[in-house]
Structure formats: structure tokens, C-alpha cells
Chain A
């Protein structure tokens, strides 16, 4: 018997009239228990796709189904199956965290006892229990994100749409979130995770789609995508002082250089002697190297290779 996808979107196109940007002909399919990553720089269309899938906006064309329900014609049915966490969550600031979560759980038709049980567990899981009766306007950004996660999970959705869920969370909470995502996936919840946290996507997602200018430019398992980069290396040089690194770009085999704080990340071919050549180039440019690492390619390298662009704004070349 053929497995019914938890979420299936076909040929989704949406262009914003104001900017002309949007998404074009996107197709995705996510099975129950699968974690699907959407990766792309700001403006690539991740959030727009999530807006469509969460029924916030209707696409110009295309269709999607959630648990078999038509996303355009059976919106309320679709909404009961979805758990949603947006990038910048909002709450009623003058209500407590508990009251906010209770309110949203009730809107999903949950009974009092079930709501209290689910919320108690989630507030404890995300370490918000001591603050549950505080007004949300006193919460930090990270606490607000945790509350939004609780609201997304409380009603036990079949499909979870998460937009940058770990952004703003402390390290412990990020780990708790990753554990929760794995637990949910093992209990057959389908999860769509839009994120630029490449490490998180690589470790959590079963499949990943790269978005660029509103289109999917590559899709596959993280292992397959990374192994497609045979012959690519990443040299990370930590410098004592910033340098004008353009001369290093002239080294044979160097594809791209991205400054990340005190690190200079050099994407290059995997050829004999290239590490020595890159180090020599940095020294010639006046760089004082305090640490050096040669790393295997990551999903970020895949994206750079595919599009010639960085995933994050701060990675743009100077």
C-alpha cells in the first residue's frame, strides 16, 4: 500500500504584488515521521512557503494537502492538523505565559484536563514552569520563542511548521528543542524546519531542500548533498587581526572566501598543497594566523557551490 504523505505541495507559486518576489513552482512532499529542512538565505522564499502551507495566504497557483485535506478548500481541517511557530512570535503581553498557551490550546478544541496535562509537561520540558504565571511582556525574546513552541506543540499536531525555531534560544534550550523534534518525528509527526542554522539542519533533517530566489535548487538527504561536493575543502583560519584578503582569492583552486568574525573561511578545491598555498596567501596579505582547521564540507558549502551565494547576510563578501 502506498504511503500517504503528511504534507504534499505541488507547483506552488506566489508572487507578492508589492515587490514581485515570492516562490515559483515549488514541490515538496513530507512523510509522517520525517524532518524536512528548508534552507536558503533571507528572501529566498522559506517563510513565504511556510505562509502558504500554514494557510495564511493562498498561492497564485498550485495546491497542497495536509494529511489528505485540501489546503485551499478545507482550511479549518488543515489548521487542526498543523502546529505552527513563526519566526517572530507574538503573544498577549498582559496575559501570563500559561494563559496565552491555554488560550491557543483551547482554540484547537482541547479539553481542560488534556490541555493542563500537555501544558504542564511542555512548560517543564522547556524550563518555563517557574515563569508560567508571569506576564508575557516580562519575558525575554528566548522565553517568548519557547512559549511559541509550547503553543505549536500543545494540541498534538500531525504536521509541525517551524520557522527559525532555535534562533534566540540559549544552548540548553536548543538541545531540548532538538530532542523534542526527534521525539516527535519518532511518534510520526512530520516536521518542516526552515532554518539557516546549518549544523542544526544537518543533524536533524532527513531531507533538505535548498531555496534560492523562490525556487528549489537542490533537494536530498544531507549526506547525499554533502557527498556531491567531492573534491571540496573548507579551510578555516583564525586571525589575530583583520586583513584585506583579496590576494588570497588569487590562489589557484580557491572558490570563495567568507569572513566570519575573526575567522577567514576559505572554500577551495581539494588538491595537494592547497592548504600550504592558502596559508602562504594569508601570510602574504599580512594575516597572523592563530589557529587553522581543515574541515569537511557542510550543507552551507553545498549551497555556496550551487548558487554562488552565502546563506547568511553576514557571510557576504566584503
Chain B
């Protein structure tokens, strides 16, 4: 399969990702630099899981949102939107390829985590899948924010406002044992399933069954992807 020259939107993003060598090096190293020391240390399991979760959430949200607003400001996305390709397909490809590339960045660090904290293959797959679902959700949030601002700096600001309550609900740091409405709302946040899976990897007893981690985040992500793709015509139109 030929990536460069690209004949599809997602291939263009892959070509750009692997084309900038220094940036690629930094992108591959920073998750290792943050996650590996945490995984190798003896810090409590819930905090180790939270650190990985935060890295995943931030990488996903800021990646897609920032790159989209930059492309919107350049006018290049509007140029793409003037080709016969469907805007919804463009947004879907932006979302999918960014989530996969973010996973590629995190994968080496995750492999080291699994080596340092061996668990069953089922939990390795479940945790990796949950991280991917988090990346899809985070990228969807980033794309959603790009609908309302053309400034990459504003993306960071709005993302923080959206992510804080979701991180709280997921129980990364506080709200580890939610009850009532918080427990109910937690079920709708894919970050929560990643948190549960990573806590299991680090040795805590599982809150969610492996099948829950595959099924619920998949359904939630499907709804999110559909909703974000609906914003495509607005997202790809010029800001006049």
C-alpha cells in the first residue's frame, strides 16, 4: 500500500506524521519518558493508571483539535472541502487516523507497562482497546471544539473545561468509588473503562469485566463518531 504520495486523506496524515523525523522522535519518546518511570516505580496502582490515562486523554484531545484549527486557519481544509469528497468522510478520516497515530505513539510505552506488570492476554487486549477508545473519544472532543474556535490556544482552554469533569467522573484521582448519579454517569465515559482496565493491569481488582470494556466504549464511541461527523459541513466551511 502506497502512503506517499497520498491518495486519501488519512494517508496524507500518515505521510505527514512519519515525514517530520524530529517531531516523530519527540512524539514517540515523550509517552515513554512519562509512562515508563511511573510503571517502574512503586506508586499506588490507581495513580499509575491515572498518569497513563491523562497522557492518552491529552494526546488525543490536543492532537486532533490543534491540527484541525491550524489547517482551518491555513484555509487548506476548506480547499479539501471543495473537492468532491464528502466532508463527513474527511472528518471521519481525521478522527480515525489521529486516534490510530496516537495509539502508535503510546504503544511502546504500553508494551513496557505490560512487561513490567504481567497480566492475562485478555486484560492486555482489553486495556489496549480501552486506551484506543479513550483516544477516539478524546479526538472526537478535539474535533468538536474545533467547531467553535479557530485558535489552537482556545482548543487547550475549552478542552480543559470539558475534560476536567470527565476525568473526575472516570475516577482517575478523586471519585474512585462513585455512588448514585456519579456511578450512573461514569458508565457513559470511555475514560472510566480505560481507568478500570489499567488499574487491573497494575494489580487492583477489576471493576469492569473485560467484555464490558469491549462493548460499552465501542457503543459510546460509535455515537460520538457519528455525532462529530454530523458537524463536518460546518467544521469544513470557511469562518467568515
A→B interface (CB under 8 Å) = 16-18, 51, 54-57, 76-77, 79-80, 82, 84, 86, 88-92, 94-96, 98-99, 102-104, 106-109, 112, 115
Contact = CB atoms under 8 A, between A and B. Distances in A.
Contacts of B84: 76-77, 79-80, 107-109
Given A79-B84, A103-B5, A106-B6, 5 more contacts: A84-B79, A103-B6, A107-B9, A107-B80, A108-B83
Contact of B12 (A79, A92, A98): A92
Nearest to A98: B5
Contact of A56 (B9, B12, B76, B82): B82
B79 A103 contact: no
Q: What is the predominant secondary structure among interface residues of chain B facing chain A?
A: loop
A76 B86 contact: yes
A103 B19 contact: no
B224 interface: no
A134 B236 CA distance: 28
B61 to A, nearest CB: 22
A56 B78 contact: yes
A108 B83 CA distance: 6
Contacts of B80: 107
Contact of A79 (B5, B8, B82): B82
Interface string B70-84: 000011101110111
Contacts of B15: 95, 99
Contacts of A103: 5-7, 12
Contacts of B82: 54-56, 79, 82, 84
Nearest to B73: A90
Contact of A106 (B7, B78, B86): B7
12 contacts: A16-B240, A17-B240, A18-B240, A55-B82, A56-B82, A57-B237, A79-B82, A79-B83, A80-B84, A99-B4, A102-B5, A107-B85
B6 A104 contact: no
Name which of A86, A106, A112, A115 has the most chain B CB atoms within 10 A of its CB.
A106
B16 interface: yes
A115 B7 CA distance: 10
Contacts of A91: 76
A175 B82 CA distance: 28
B19 A94 contact: yes
Contacts of A95: 4-6, 12, 15-16, 19
B236 to A, nearest CB: 10
Nearest to A104: B83
In the A-B complex, the 6 residue pairs with the smallest Cβ-Cβ separation, listed nearest first, are A102-B5, A106-B7, A107-B83, A99-B5, A90-B76, A80-B84
Nearest to B12: A103
Contacts of B174: none
B71 to A, nearest CB: 9
Nearest to A18: B240
B134 to A, nearest CB: 28
B238 A99 contact: no
A157 to B, nearest CB: 11
A17 B86 CA distance: 27
